[in-house]
Amino acid sequence: MANIKTKIDEWEVRDLEDNGVLKIYVEHNTEMGNKGVPGLQVWYTVAGGTSIVNFEPGHVERWAYQAQKAHATEYIIADHSWMYHEDTYVKNSLVVGDILKAKVSVKVRSKKEAITKEYELPFNLE
């Protein structure tokens, strides 16, 4: 069966300081990872460059374990985020609980608070 991609959300945050735009695109995939199971992809665009975070069971299991070791309910995926400045960033996280969630926080200089959205993952861990 072919992978079917479905858009879940698309949004952007414009920084009035320099007119820069941070863009987020979230999609559901029917086949991800080595096992070809459903998952989410979060695409984020900063200064024209786009990066992708794959929320599929293999990755999420490792991130959930790191959160467990730190006694935390949220794990910031630092190597799949853009956090070079305190006042401008894209933070991708895994929220661990009864329902697993992908969390995206976007902050720009001209906004006081980060804009944050969460997306339920289409699977559970054992």
Q: What is the pLDDT of residues 48-103, one digit of tens each?
A: 899 999 999 999 999 999 999 999 999 999 999 999 999 999 999 999 999 999 99
Terminal alpha carbon distance of the chain: 25
Looking at residue 48, what is its pLDDT? 85
Provide the 10 A C-beta neighbour count for residue 106: 23
